[in-house]
């Protein structure tokens, strides 16, 4: 196999990064661009052998990194952020080719957020602590001890941003890391390994191994030397990870899917509500937080639908590298077929497509690659139907109506998920009342996707376990310890 691929003019190493050096595997897998429908690279395909090597490297590096002072760890994380900023254009171009998301989004938001993730947790590390407190004259002192090697498994929809969201707190806490990126979008993880090495991350502290879940992933999450596992992805995969980790009692942080609601009350600013609803088509709907279930008060459903349709029909599909494109392709032909399968079954069951309802034209004149799916809104859907209950992970929304606040809350909470919810209303009392009843890790009121790294992030029910962000990330990545000291028993040595 060749050791490097050229993607958007950027050299990308196709080998693993283990113990501070590049390691090739006998087997490979192909990563293909959804933009051009062509192969981008033949990546080394890791197996249990590479999993063992990466965990061994992380274990060997752990004592030294754990003993590294907070200030030095923070300095190195800031240096990683510097490296990300210096290579922002390369990272944005490569990731757009690899997963099909908009280049302008990568440039303006995603890659700057990657750098911010490293800077945020570097700064939080320097302030981590709580005041000592007394118990009957005894002193309680809380400390955060590094836990050990961490396995971090990331999805394909926002590869580098979600990887940095996991890597930064793990390294800040003093842990070492084995990162397994998604096989559909592994390229920027390889570039990050180069950036980290250039920033002074010691060998073995960050390892990157590429491959499939059934061999590489299983070997990593079942390894007895791993002390933390953080995973973002599907519920079925999370169940397999939990089963594999259970014999070792390895703590898990799981951020899984969602089927989030967007509630629109009659007293809402309907223009704002329509804008927020159309925003759910971002990244071709491939966003776990997307509010894909529009729940609209019956008396304003007609006007809301009109405003929504006007806005949605102005979205421009095309080549995600072009600045005028609003909707890029979905990540893979299998994903396109999965999305279309959901829609076809819903239509067969009696749903009606207000807009969309199928794949794009594939017209090269519009810049479509053949992997575009038309923004779709389905009505006449039953609460118990598959299209309402299951995560589609594409540009497909449903619309249901309600007549009372109680009915709205019941519909909103009527799935097995609980990742997020969005609420649009002009009544402050209603906003507080309804938000308190929604089952969700995050509730947005008259806004969407406002994220602060100081806030907890995670899901309820089948949307996951645990919370990360700010101190919650350190609580997960550390063994939190209380040292209780008595006031007596000391020898006075003068």
DSSP string, 117-157: HHHHHHHHHHH-----EEETTEEEEEEEEE---EEEE--SS
Give the model confidence (pLDDT) of 401-413 as tens digits. 999 999 999 999 9
Percent of the residues in the chain that have a pLDDT greater than 90, as a whole number? 96
Query: Residues near 30 by Cβ (< 8 Å), separated by ≥ 6?
Result: 39, 40, 41, 42, 43
Give the model confidence (pLDDT) of 356-371 as tens digits. 999 997 666 677 889 9
Q: pLDDT value at position 494?
A: 44
Distance CA 295, CA 302 (A): 12
Q: pLDDT value at position 368?
A: 81
Sort strands 420-424 and 261-264 into parallel, antiparallel or unpaired.
parallel
Domain boundaries defined on the chain: 4-256+459-482, 261-445
Q: Is 150 designated active site?
A: no
Q: Is 478 designated active site?
A: no
Q: Which residues, listed in sequence order, are joined to residue 295 by a DSSP beta bridge?
A: 263, 400
Q: pLDDT value at position 363?
A: 66
Give the model confidence (pLDDT) of 123-171 as tens digits. 999 999 999 999 999 999 999 999 999 999 999 999 999 999 999 999 9
Percent of the residues in the chain that have a pLDDT greater than 70, as a whole number? 98
Phi-psi region of 75 (alpha: psi -120 to 50; beta: other; left: phi over 0): alpha
Output the CATH code of domain 261-445.
3.40.309.10
Give the model confidence (pLDDT) of 424-441 as tens digits. 999 999 999 999 999 999
Give backbone dihedrals phi and psi of 78, rounded to 5 degrees, phi first. Answer: -65, -35
Give the model confidence (pLDDT) of 296-348 as tens digits. 999 999 999 999 999 999 999 999 999 999 999 999 999 999 999 999 999 99
Nearest one of 104, 122, 110, 103 to 85, comparing CA atoms:
110
Nearest one of 378, 346, 375, 373 to 359, comparing CA atoms:
373
| Active-site position among 50, 95, 183, 255 | 255
| Active-site position among 150, 183, 288, 368 | 288
What is the average pLDDT score of the chain?
A: 96
Fold of the 4-256+459-482 domain: Aldehyde Dehydrogenase; Chain A, domain 1 (3.40.605)
What global pTM score does this model have?
Answer: 0.95
4-256+459-482 and 261-445: same fold?
Answer: no
Residue 1 has pLDDT above 90, yes or no: no
Q: pLDDT value at position 364?
A: 61
Long-range contacts for 306-310 (Cβ within 8 Å, ≥24 apart)? 307/270, 307/271, 307/273, 307/274, 308/274, 308/277, 308/278, 308/377, 309/354, 309/355, 309/377, 310/274
Which tokens hold the place of 196? Answer: 């980290």
Q: What is the mean pLDDT of residues 57-73?
A: 98
Nearest one of 122, 210, 200 to 159, comparing CA atoms:
210
């Amino acid at each position: 196999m060749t050791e490097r691929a050229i993607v958007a003019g950027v050299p990308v190493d196709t080998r693993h990064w283990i113990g501070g050096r590049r390691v090739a595997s006998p087997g490979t897998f192909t990563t293909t661009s959804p933009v051009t429908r062509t192969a981008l690279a033949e990546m080394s395909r890791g197996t249990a052998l590479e999993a063992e090597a990466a965990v061994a490297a992380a274990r060997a590096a752990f004592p030294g990194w754990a003993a590294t002072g907070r200030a030095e760890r923070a300095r190195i994380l800031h240096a990683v952020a510097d490296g990300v900023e210096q290579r922002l254009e390369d990272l944005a171009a490569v990731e757009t080719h690899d997963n099909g998301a908009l280049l302008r989004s990568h440039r303006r938001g995603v890659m700057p957020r990657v750098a911010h993730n490293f800077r945020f947790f570097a700064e939080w590390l320097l302030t981590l602590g709580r005041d000592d407190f007394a118990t009957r004259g005894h002193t309680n002192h809380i400390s955060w001890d590094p836990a050990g090697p961490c396995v971090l498994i990331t999805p394909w929809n926002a590869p580098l941003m979600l990887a940095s969201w996991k890597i930064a707190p793990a390294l800040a806490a003093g842990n070492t890391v084995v990162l397994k990126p998604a096989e559909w979008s592994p390229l920027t993880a390889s570039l990050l390994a180069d950036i980290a090495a250039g920033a002074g991350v010691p060998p073995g502290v960050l390892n990157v191994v590429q491959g499939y879940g059934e061999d590489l992933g299983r070997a990593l999450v079942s390894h007895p030397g791993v002390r933390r596992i953080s995973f973002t992805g599907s519920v079925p995969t999370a169940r397999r990870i939990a089963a594999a980790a259970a014999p070792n009692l390895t703590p898990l942080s799981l951020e899984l899917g969602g089927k989030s609601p967007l509630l629109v009350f009659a007293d809402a600013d309907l223009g704002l509500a329509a804008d927020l609803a159309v925003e759910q088509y971002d990244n071709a709907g491939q966003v776990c937080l997307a509010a894909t279930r529009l729940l609209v008060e019956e008396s304003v459903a007609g006007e809301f639908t009109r405003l929504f349709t006007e806005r949605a029909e102005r979205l421009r599909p095309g080549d995600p590298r072009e600045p005028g494109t609003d909707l890029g392709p979905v990540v893979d032909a299998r994903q396109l077929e999965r999305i279309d399968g959901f829609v076809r079954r819903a239509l067969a069951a009696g749903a009606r497509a207000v807009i969309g309802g199928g794949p794009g034209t594939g017209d090269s004149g519009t810049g479509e690659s053949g992997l575009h799916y038309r923004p779709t809104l389905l009505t006449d859907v039953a609460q118990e139907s598959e299209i309402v209950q299951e995560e589609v992970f594409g540009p497909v929304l449903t619309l249901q109506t309600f007549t009372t606040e109680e009915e709205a809350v019941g519909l909103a909470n009527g799935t097995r998920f609980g990742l997020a919810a969005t609420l649009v209303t002009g009544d402050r009392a209603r906003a507080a009342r309804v938000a308190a009843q929604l089952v969700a890790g995050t509730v947005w009121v008259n806004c969407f996707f406002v994220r602060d790294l100081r806030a907890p992030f995670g899901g309820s029910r089948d949307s996951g376990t645990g919370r990360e962000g700010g101190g919650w990330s350190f609580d997960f990545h550390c063994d939190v310890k209380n040292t209780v000291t008595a006031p007596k028993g000391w020898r006075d040595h003068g």
